[in-house]
Chain A
Amino acid sequence: MVAAKKTKKTHESINNRLALVMKSGKYTLGYKTVLKSLRNSKGKLIIIANNCPPLRKSEIEYYAMLCKVGVHHYNGNNVDLGTACGKYFRVCCLGIINPGDSDIINSVPGDH
């Protein structure tokens, strides 16, 4: 019971932080651009939706492992992640390049 409550609160805080990044920071949405941001080492945090195909998820995780960049598995599917970004389309993976005013990079990758 307590664990469920805790995940709900941290989930909302991730959404808040993500909204702040959308407003003030730089990000890329989508698999191709996320890989590009990892290749030229611009990405600082990667967020993957939970219904991402497992091959694609493991590929992004492998790139992130080579890059030593954190990966956060978002608690929601690509529809929810798109909504959390304030977009009207589905987002399966997104990369944060510049967090702006948000502290998402320091606070989130604790759970990987």
Chain B
Amino acid sequence: MVKFLKPNKAVIVLQGRYAGRKAVIVKSFDEGTRDRPYGHCLVAGIKKYPSKVIRKDSAKKTAKKSRVKCFVKLVNHQHLMPTRYTLDVDLKDVVSVDALQTKDKKVAACKATKERFEERFKTGKNRWFFTKLRF
């Protein structure tokens, strides 16, 4: 009775090229739109997880290991597995549906989410989100 497919919810993508990747809901279209007459979400997720950083690493190595590669996608609700975790990273201004129209807008959106994800990873919070799901 409580809606849970809300912005900032961490989800796992189940189908497609990004199956098994963790993502965060940026915007949810419960009723669907004219082009997509089903419930779907705009998600921003991790294409390539950051590696494990150990204390021994030099600054250059930690910088290289903390890199995150992102994707932005519209996904059907059926192809998402919601989790109890949330990730409050403000992506509303950066990621939007019209960012998906052209290739360079999409690249710019991915770059901006990459920066936000990387700075969140470096603080050490939301550790679950940045670890790879083993299956």
**Contact A66 to B77, CB < 8 A, known contacts A39-B39, A40-B30, A40-B39:** no
The prevalent SS among residues of B at the interface is loop
Closest-CB distance, B54 to chain A (whole angstroms): 33
Interface string of A8-46 (1 = CB under 8 A from B): 000000000000000000000000000110011101100
**Selected contact of B2 from candidates A35, A36, A66, CB within 8 Å:** A66
Question: Are B82 and A66 interface neighbours, CB within 8 A?
Answer: yes
A63 and B82 contact, Cβ closer than 8 Å, known pairs A39-B39, A40-B30, A40-B39: yes
Minimum CB–CB distance for A42 against chain B, Å:
8
Number of residues from B at the complex interface, CB < 8 A:
11
A contacts with B, residue count (CB < 8 A): 13
Contact with A along B84-103 (1 / 0, CB 8 A): 10000000000000000000
Interface digits, A62-75 against B, CB 8 Å rule (1 contact, 0 not)?
Answer: 01011111000000
Q: Which residue of B lies closest to A66 (CB)?
A: B4
Residues of A within 8 A of B1 (CB): 41, 43-44, 67-69
A47-101 residues with Cβ-Cβ distance < 8 A to B are 63, 65-69
The tally of CB-CB contacts under 8 A between chains A and B is 27
Q: Is the CB of A68 within 8 A of B5?
A: no
Nearest opposing residue in chain B for A41, CB measure: B3
B84 touches A66 (CB 8 A): yes
Contact flag A39-B5 (CB < 8 Å), given A63-B82, A66-B82, A66-B84: yes
A39→B78 CA distance, assembly (Å): 9
**Chain A residue with minimal CB distance to B38?**
A36
Q: Which residues of B contact A43 (CB under 8 A)?
A: 1
**Given A40-B3, A65-B84, A67-B3, list of 18 further CB < 8 A pairs?**
A35-B78, A36-B78, A39-B5, A39-B39, A39-B77, A40-B30, A40-B39, A41-B3, A41-B4, A43-B1, A44-B1, A63-B82, A66-B2, A66-B4, A66-B82, A67-B1, A67-B2, A68-B1
Q: Give residues in A with beta carbon < 8 Å to B.
A: 35-36, 39-41, 43-44, 63, 65-69
